[in-house]
Amino acid sequence: MVNGPLIPGMREFDTPRQGWPKWAVWVLACLGVLVVLVIVAGFMGGVGPLRALGLSTLPLEAVQYRTTGDPLVLEVAVAMPKTGLCREDTVEVTAFERGNRVEIDSNVTRPRQATCPVSSIGGDVTWVAVSLDAALGDRTVIRLPDRSPLEKASTAS
């Protein structure tokens, strides 16, 4: 009884080869390279679906607040960072309404690899509008990190 191929060197009767087809290996390799490129682009350039990897967030200090013509909008003054602000920087102020107080948290988000001429337009503070769920009324506005009350400035014009 013959257990091998009928003609030596031909593989037609050999057991099926184990492993992945060549096209599957190439597809997996291309997907791996694509994933690495997306991660690198997100971290280095701050672009793509992993943009957050290329951004850094720094806390800012809220110093004052003022009411506006709209009872659901509050303006908060935040101190400019020592390094100033770049055009790509995003200043975010968040208000948490809890009972008889409104807690303010503020930060600036900027690209990690930012190399821009900083600008300190507007002096030492910048005003940011914050939306509230309910009118401020007689609630106390406090800075979230250290729980100290904010000073009320004159009403915005």
Predicted confidence (pLDDT) per residue in 74-101, tens digit: 999 998 877 777 777 888 999 999 889 9
Q: State the Rg of the chain over Cα.
A: 30
Q: What is the pLDDT, as a whole number, of residue 50?
A: 62
* Stretch 131-148: mean pLDDT: 90
* DSSP 8-class letter at 30: H
Q: What is the pLDDT, as a whole number, of residue 15?
A: 58
Tell me which residue of 156, 140, 135, 157 sits closest to 75, measured CA to CA: 156
Q: What is the pLDDT, as a whole number, of residue 29?
A: 94
Instruction: Please state the domain extents for the chain.
Output: 55-152
Predicted confidence (pLDDT) per residue in 17-64, tens digit: 667 788 888 999 999 999 988 777 766 665 666 666 667 788 889 999
Q: What is the pLDDT, as a whole number, of residue 96?
A: 93
- Please state, in angstroms and rounded to a whole number, the distance separating the CA atoms of residues 118 and 126: 14
